[in-house]
Amino acid sequence: MKNILITGFEPFGGEKINPSYEALKLLPETIATAKIHILCLPVVFGKNGALLEQSIDELDPDIIICVGQAGGRSGLTFEKIAINCQNASVPDNDGNQPHDEPVIEQGPAAYFATLPLSQMIAACKKAGFKAEFSYHAGTYVCNDTMYRLLHLLASGDSKARGGFIHVPFVPEQVHDKKTSSQSLEETAKCLECAIKAAIEATN
């Protein structure tokens, strides 16, 4: 049985919840005969990567999908690329606020996701969900996490494939804002569809 590691984040920026992790709690324990393992990462530069590396060492997963919140997006967006840059407009949850610093000193300028993104997006769209490519994961902790993940996979012994998906706000986060949102249930169902497609494409 394959092991699939799916990570989300704790709340940050004054929010009380983070849909990236809350949606993971709604996923089934197995998808397409693969065992699903969920993990909540801190919204802290560096600490995220250390916890991710520890989990990869313990689980030896076949697929790793990191999930983050992206306010303003109306559906799931599948990140194609992570850049070697940290530039935080607000502090992380430990008060760190790097400005134009590398994620990894002397690391490559960028890494591309190694997940079968086209198949994942196509499966989500076929099921009636909003899903599309994104070519900029930002320069905050989401990009930092994606870059650290792909650096670990590129420089270590793991044969896992990895990448990052952004999910929208949930309705309770936007009651006083004019921005898009999506229910946790719909986000979870779309993630399940994407995970299943990734498993089937890598069999």
pLDDT score of 62: 98
**Residue ranges making up the domain that contains 125:** 3-201
Q: Are 75 and 63 in contact (CB under 8 A)?
A: no
State the pLDDT at residue 170: 78
Tracing tokens 């993990």 back to the chain, one arrives at: 39
pLDDT for position 190:
98
**pLDDT score of 203:** 82
CATH number of the domain to which 178 belongs? 3.40.630.20
pLDDT averaged per 10 residues in sequence order, the chain, 203 residues? 97 92 98 97 97 96 98 92 98 97 98 98 98 97 98 94 95 76 93 98 89
Which residues belong to the active site? 79
What pTM, to 2 d.p., does this model score?
Answer: 0.96
Q: Given this model, what pLDDT does residue 173 score?
A: 77
Distance between CA 195 and CA 188 in Å, rounded?
10
Q: What is the pLDDT of residues 7-53, one digit of tens each?
A: 999 999 888 999 999 999 999 999 999 999 999 999 999 999 999 99
Structural domains of the chain, count: 1
Nearest to 77 by CA among 129, 23, 136, 133: 133
